[in-house]
């Protein structure tokens, strides 16, 4: 069983998913962020966000990322080993993603996962750089999506 709460350092805490659309929708209203996530220049609707979280929560472990007591993003570890992470724009470039992905790797090891996968659009240089820094290697490029893999 994955932990409900994980303190990464004095600034960053992972909190198990609970319905909090009011806060999260703000991240998913950012058109640039949505483009990085879905390659669609369209904000999420409340319904789409609820459906996404329900699906991810059913198929893995969803955590909110808290930085200095403020929710700033989310990260998912699916049962397939796929990791997805979203960090709101104002919290990007603080190396939060690197620390969070490292902790998700620890959780995956504790759950006996053998590999982790990340799918990143080829234009999303920031995410590609972050996952590669965390030890992920390109497995293949398919339909403009890099399939990144890390054996653990």
95-110 confidence digits (pLDDT tens): 999 999 999 999 999 9
Q: For residue 11, which phi and psi values (nearest 5 degrees)? A: -105, -30
In a domain, 40, yes or no: yes
Question: Cα 63 from chain centroid?
Answer: 9
The model's pTM is 0.92
Residues with Cβ within 8 Å of 100's Cβ and at least 6 positions away in sequence, in order, are: 8, 12, 14, 65, 73, 75, 85
Range(s) of the domain holding residue 36: 5-113
Q: What CATH code is carried by the domain that includes residue 19?
A: 3.40.630.30
Residues with Cβ within 8 Å of 32's Cβ and at least 6 positions away in sequence, in order, are: 89
Number of domains in the chain: 1
Query: Residue 1: is its pLDDT beyond 90?
Result: no
Cα pseudo-dihedral 23, 95, 127, 116, rounded to 10: -90
In a domain, 140, yes or no: no
Residues with Cβ within 8 Å of 123's Cβ and at least 6 positions away in sequence, in order, are: 144
In a domain, 147, yes or no: no
What would the pLDDT profile of 40-66 be if each residue is shown by its tens digit?
899 999 999 999 999 999 999 999 999
pLDDT band for position 38 (cuts 50, 70, 90)? confident
What's residue 143's pLDDT? 87
Q: Are 104 and 83 in contact (CB under 8 A)?
A: yes
What's residue 73's pLDDT? 96
In a domain, 65, yes or no: yes
pLDDT band for position 78 (cuts 50, 70, 90)? very high
CA distance 127 to 145: 12
What's residue 3's pLDDT? 84
CA distance 2 to 142: 31
In a domain, 21, yes or no: yes
pLDDT band for position 37 (cuts 50, 70, 90)? confident
In a domain, 124, yes or no: no
CA distance 132 to 137: 6
In a domain, 120, yes or no: no
In a domain, 148, yes or no: no
């Amino acid at each position: 069983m994955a932990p409900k709460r994980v303190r990464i350092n004095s600034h960053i805490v992972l909190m198990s998913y609970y319905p909090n659309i009011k806060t999260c929708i703000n991240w998913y209203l950012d058109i640039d962020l949505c483009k990085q996530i879905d390659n669609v220049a369209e904000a999420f609707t409340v319904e789409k966000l609820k459906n996404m979280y329900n699906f991810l929560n059913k198929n893995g472990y969803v955590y909110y990322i808290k930085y200095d007591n403020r929710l700033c993003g989310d990260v998912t570890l699916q049962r397939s080993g796929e990791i997805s992470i979203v960090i709101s724009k104002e919290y990007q470039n603080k190396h939060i993603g690197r620390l969070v992905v490292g902790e998700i790797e620890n959780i995956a090891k504790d759950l006996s996962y053998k590999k982790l996968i990340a799918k990143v659009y080829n234009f999303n240089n920031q995410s590609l750089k972050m996952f590669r820094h965390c030890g992920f290697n390109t497995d293949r490029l398919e339909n403009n999506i890099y399939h990144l893999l890390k054996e653990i």
